[in-house]
Amino acid sequence: MTIYFTSDTHLGHAEIIRLCKRPFANVREMDEAIIARWNETVAPGDIVYHLGDFCFHNEASAESYLKRLNGKIHFIRGNHDKHTLRDHGELFASVSDIKEIEIGHRRIVLCHYPMREWHGAWKGAWHLFGHVHGRLDHQPLGFSLDVGVDSHDFRPWSVTEIEAALKDRHNPFSPAMAPANLLPGEGGHSLE
């Protein structure tokens, strides 16, 4: 079993092709490419954390898409998921607004929206997000990463791929990087 992360598939959303300059001629081509890449990557027994904006303005139902996708999908609510969750929320393994998980000894904070700081950032926790469609890729912040399909060849990313992407980043929140007045002892205090 492998664990994957993705966001902002926007299945069925024709306007997202223009808005995000996605390389597809139409919504059908986009949907089929995203579903094919998902299923080439994710096996039926794998786990996927989808960080919001699953489908939007679609003619097909969320259920019709979910039936075609491999894996057990845990869902983090995005800003375009009201109807998906109202009509088909029970089809996801879980639904959250924000979620913290641990894989091995690594804490991971999952949210649709990017955060400037997150629980555990000072201790090396990751923050995975979507919503921005790659607009923050050129401004990485510590161990945070946009896992949206626009940043990752329209497919989910595994923990191993994320670890490789983050391995050379420094943690601006680590105690070594903190001003002396924020460190424990000597009259300072920790923000964690």
Angle at 57 (CA atoms; ends 6, 35), nearest 5 degrees: 40
Residues 10 and 80: beta-carbon distance below 8 Å: yes
**Lowest mean per-residue pLDDT among 4-8, 118-122, 161-165, 179-183:** 179-183
d(CA 54, CA 30): 13
| pLDDT level of residue 163 (50, 70, 90 thresholds) | very high
| pLDDT level of residue 181 (50, 70, 90 thresholds) | low
Query: What order of strands is seen across the sheet that includes strand 94-96?
Result: 94-96, 72-76, 47-50, 3-6, 157-158
Task: Dump pLDDT digits (tens) for 107-143.
Answer: 999 999 999 999 999 999 999 999 999 999 988 899 9
Q: Specify the pTM.
A: 0.90
Q: Give the phi and the psi of residue 30 in degrees, each rounded to 5.
A: -60, -50
pLDDT given for residue 176 in this prediction: 66
Residues 80 and 131: beta-carbon distance below 8 Å: no
pLDDT given for residue 71 in this prediction: 98
d(CA 155, CA 158): 10
Q: Is the pLDDT of residue 188 over 50?
A: no
For the chain, the first-to-last Cα distance in angstroms comes to: 33
Number of Cβ within 10 Å of residue 87's Cβ equals 12
The identity of residue 124, as a single letter, is G
d(CA 17, CA 15): 5
